[in-house]
Amino acid sequence: MFRLHALRYRYGQTAELRFPDWSLQQGEQAVLRGPSGSGKSTLLSLLAGLLQPQQGDIWLAEQALAALPPAQRDAWRGRHIGFIPQRAHLLASLNVLENLQLAQYLARLPQDAAQCQRVLASLGLIELAGRRPQQLSQGQAQRVAIARALLNHPKLLLADEPSASLDDANTTAVLDLLQGAAQQAGATLLIASHDARVHARFDRQFLLEARV
């Protein structure tokens, strides 16, 4: 589903991040491993089109991201990529349902409240539809972020450290939710994590080395 070639990225004057030439097929699931500072979050942001590499190429579903103008890239990302950051980043001024409808709007899709409700219901979240983000627990906000990421039927689902600050029971629940939802949707799943509990769930693993 994605292919990387000679990918390089640098923040200012820091050491350059160099990423291996990896690929993952549609429907496959994998974990991205590596120590802090090795570039896990950066690679997810590059795959999501939130950052642009200084060198190299990224293909998603045979679409070269660099070939898309910024506005088209944003819309393409909204339609084909579900990104779950470490923090949910839900808009405090909108309730849960409205946050999902916003994701449809940003992807230039019709705002379909019924579809949003179906996704919330499928994840056991329908009772949260009218709540504001500040009325959610950390676990509830994370599940809403997963619902938002799945809403537009993405081809690629990206999750950045989803087990951070979670105990064993909640880690298991979140991973069950992510892997099950991705499998049901036929989406490719890539999780970035330094957590051995997460690593144990995946046969396919990518390893980033520490920067030198």
Structural domain including 32 reads: 2-207
Q: Does residue 109 lie within any of the structural domains? A: yes
The mean pLDDT value for 7-22 works out to 91
Contact 82, 88 (CB under 8 A): no
CATH number of residue 187's parent domain: 3.40.50.300
Domain count, the chain: 1
Residue 11 has pLDDT above 70, yes or no: yes
Residue 211 has pLDDT above 70, yes or no: no
**Residue 61, pLDDT score:** 84
Q: Does residue 212 lie within any of the structural domains? A: no
For 109-150, the pLDDT digits (tens) are: 999 999 999 999 988 899 999 999 999 988 889 889 989 998
